């Protein structure tokens, strides 16, 4: 008997439906001829609790730390015992086992740890499925490989699970105990990913709380030229008081110049035009989709992930969603007309976009060299029934289909124009953009492009017909949202100060993975380290205190991002798990030595003051930039660009 073990029941059903023969249901499995298709329910096993290794660890004590198992053990999750019993019985009947976990590191671990836990010693094949529709599953069944090919992936996932246990168990116990000594009642959870993510938010909130707005001033003038009106922005020279971004810090020079401008004659002294081509945005990875959906529809990262899982498992409308890749296999290009034809049926917007697609085009998205275990999110080729989709499901599906459709549109071609006017020996800049070929752009919401300038000729006369001084203030950084925090986790190198580490991290996956980033945010919210304020994510008093009490390396992204880099090396066979874990244990001892109740007490006290600071400033200034104008004439201008 052949036993196929899927990661979830939905995948098991898709596999059974693709096998030849009728499907019948058994307890915890599906039967198709001499094949049984069973499943896990997520992780059936988990790392054993410390007291499983030694009963004395049930009591939390600082002198027990670090807790390092000599021989690692897994225990069944409380709700998994029934399914493990089913699988144990099926293993006794099996002559062959097929591993059908999801095609990623965790999917490899999830099923293989069950196979090894239940003592199977026979052959194991690997079935990789990223699309639940029958033709795709049937094709995958014909292309199975020996599971031994994926052992390095399993070792990396196992090392990740053990490292997270070591890091989380030991540091959480240490800082919870010092927190109790400092008067904090409750568990203080520390994790190798969640804590640096919390650190990003806390530091952003601190920057906002400490921000002191500074006034600056801009002067614009509207120039009458031969074929229209252009707004230019004064470029004060270095003799004026400027900040490091070239902004004018004193108002009087702008006021003095504005008084001289009415009716002044000048010339267009410099004109530059540059034609540009921009390819369509690539198909989505999960994180890229979460960023766009958060901005467009105000959906949390977790909601977007859940919608994608529903579109994949329940509706079977998209391919495997937990992907970090934005490229598609070259073989999919030939099938795209049929796949997108089905995907766009029954929706007027998608059908309109489909009608204008040119399927002879081949964008850079079709690239086997860029495709790893997964490819980008794409429609599966099933025809959607929009009456069965929620509004959010339909919106997310359209985004996914749109980004693949855009690969069959021409490049966006624009002409960017920069003009410099000289009047009264002062320079004014204007810029605009003309769209030459719209290409893929109509599929996307309008972006904040500078409007086109009227036809211009270098050297032509220009007369000032209006001008104004605008008084502004520098603005604090924006608080993190789901979109910006996911983006920060993806591009963590920009938050690293060490140049060498920054260069290294540009090539890694950042903080967390596609599959975990949304859950990391939700975990921080559930543990009350973060709260939502409208769309903003802000750190709570407890979250602020925890970051202040921990040693700085534990709160910054460098360590965990470098972990991911090393785990990737293990997965690719270029590193070993044992040295990685040995180095972690050395690091843990250093971190544990810095646990200090007095530092925690000070952190709890300073966090109270920090939490009140933004409220005081908001009451004083309202937190908004102030803009006033002093106008010298009333004519209406056509704007060339914004100079601030």
The pLDDT assigned to 504 comes to 65
Residue ranges of the chain with pLDDT lower than 50? Answer: 611-644
For residue 54, what are its two tokens? 């030694």
pLDDT, tens digit, 9 for 90 and up, residues 255-268: 999 999 999 999 99
Distance CA 548, CA 604 (A): 8
The pLDDT assigned to 447 comes to 57
Domains of the chain: residue spans and CATH: 2-44+80-143 (3.40.50.140), 158-209+477-621 (1.10.460.10), 215-279+413-473 (2.70.20.10), 286-408 (1.10.290.10)
Q: Is 34 helix (H, G, I), strand (E, B) or coil?
A: coil
Catalytic residue among 167, 320, 409, 495: 320
Pairing state between β 265-278 and 461-473: antiparallel
pLDDT, tens digit, 9 for 90 and up, residues 338-357: 999 999 999 999 999 999 99
Long-range pairs for 578-587: beta carbons < 8 A, 24 or more residues apart:
580/159, 580/163, 581/159, 581/162, 581/163, 581/166, 584/163, 584/166, 584/167, 585/66, 585/68, 585/166, 587/559
Determine whether 57 is an active site residue. no
The pLDDT assigned to 507 comes to 64
The pLDDT assigned to 617 comes to 39
The pLDDT assigned to 57 comes to 97
Helix, strand, coil shares of the chain, percent, nearest 5, are 45, 20, 35
For residue 103, what are its two tokens? 């095609």
Pairing state between β 145-146 and 215-225: unpaired
- Tell me the pTM: 0.85
Judge contact between 140 and 129, C-beta under 8 A: yes
For residue 13, what are its two tokens? 């059903």
């Amino acid at each position: 008997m052949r036993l196929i073990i899927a990661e979830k029941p939905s995948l098991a059903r898709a596999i059974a439906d693709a096998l030849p023969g009728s499907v019948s249901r058994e307890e915890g499995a599906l039967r198709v001829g001499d094949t049984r298709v069973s499943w896990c329910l997520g992780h059936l096993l988990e790392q054993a609790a410390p007291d499983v290794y030694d009963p004395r660890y049930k009591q939390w004590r600082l002198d027990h730390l670090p807790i390092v198992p000599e021989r690692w053990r897994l225990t069944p999750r409380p709700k998994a015992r029934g399914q493990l019993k089913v699988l144990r019985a099926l293993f006794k009947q099996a002559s062959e086992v097929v591993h059908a976990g999801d095609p990623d590191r965790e999917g490899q671990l999830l099923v293989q740890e069950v196979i090894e836990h239940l003592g199977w010693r026979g052959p194991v094949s690997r079935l990789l499925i990223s699309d639940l529709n029958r033709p795709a599953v049937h094709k995958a069944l014909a292309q199975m490989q020996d599971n031994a090919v994926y052992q390095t992936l399993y070792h990396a996932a196992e090392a990740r699970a053990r490292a997270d246990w070591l890091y989380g168990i030991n540091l959480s116990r240490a800082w919870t105990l010092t927190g109790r000594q400092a008067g904090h009642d409750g568990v203080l959870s520390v994790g190798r990913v969640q804590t640096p993510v919390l650190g990003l938010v806390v530091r952003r909130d601190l920057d906002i709380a400490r921000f002191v707005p500074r006034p600056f001033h801009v002067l614009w003038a509207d120039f009458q030229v031969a074929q229209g009106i252009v707004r230019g922005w004064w470029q004060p020279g270095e003799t004026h008081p400027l900040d490091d971004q070239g902004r004018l810090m004193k108002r009087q020079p702008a006021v003095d110049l504005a008084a001289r401008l009415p009716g002044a004659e000048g010339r267009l002294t410099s004109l530059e035009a540059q034609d540009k081509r921009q390819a369509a945005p690539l198909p989505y990875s999960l994180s890229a989709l979460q960023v766009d959906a958060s901005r467009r529809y105000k959906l949390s990262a977790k909601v977007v992930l859940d919608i994608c899982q529903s579109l994949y498992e329940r509706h079977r409308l998209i391919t495997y969603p937990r992907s970090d890749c934005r490229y598609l296999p070259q073989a999919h290009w030939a099938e795209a007309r049929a796949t997108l034809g089905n995907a766009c049926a029954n929706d007027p917007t998608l059908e309109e976009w489909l009608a204008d697609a040119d399927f002879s085009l081949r964008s850079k998205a079709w690239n086997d060299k860029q495709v790893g275990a997964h490819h980008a999110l794409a429609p599966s080729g099933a025809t959607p029934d929009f009456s069965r989709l929620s509004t959010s499901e339909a919106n997310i599906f359209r985004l996914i289909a749109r980004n693949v459709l855009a690969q069959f549109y021409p490049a966006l071609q624009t002409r960017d124009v920069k003009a410099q006017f000289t009047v009264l020996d002062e320079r004014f800049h204007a810029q605009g953009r003309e769209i030459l070929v719209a290409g893929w752009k109509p599929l996307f919401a309008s972006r904040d492009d500078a409007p086109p300038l009227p036809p211009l000729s270098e050297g032509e006369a220009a007369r000032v017909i209006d001008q104004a001084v605008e008084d502004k203030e520098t603005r604090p950084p924006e608080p993190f949202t789901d979109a910006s925090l996911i983006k920060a986790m993806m591009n963590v190198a920009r938050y690293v100060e060490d140049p060498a580490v920054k260069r290294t991290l540009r090539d890694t996956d950042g903080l967390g993975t596609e599959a975990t980033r949304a859950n990391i945010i939700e975990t921080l919210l559930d543990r009350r380290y973060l709260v939502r304020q409208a769309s903003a994510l802000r750190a709570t008093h407890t979250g602020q205190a925890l970051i202040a009490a921990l040693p700085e390396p534990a709160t910054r992204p460098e360590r965990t991002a470098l972990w991911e880099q090393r785990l990737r090396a293990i997965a690719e066979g270029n590193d070993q798990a044992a040295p990685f874990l040995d180095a972690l244990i050395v690091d843990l001892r250093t971190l544990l030595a810095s646990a200090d109740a007095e530092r925690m007490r000070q952190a709890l006290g300073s966090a109270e003051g920090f939490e009140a600071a933004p409220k005081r400033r908001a009451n004083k200034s309202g937190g908004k930039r102030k803009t006033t104008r002093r106008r010298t004439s009333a004519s209406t201008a056509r704007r060339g660009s914004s100079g601030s």
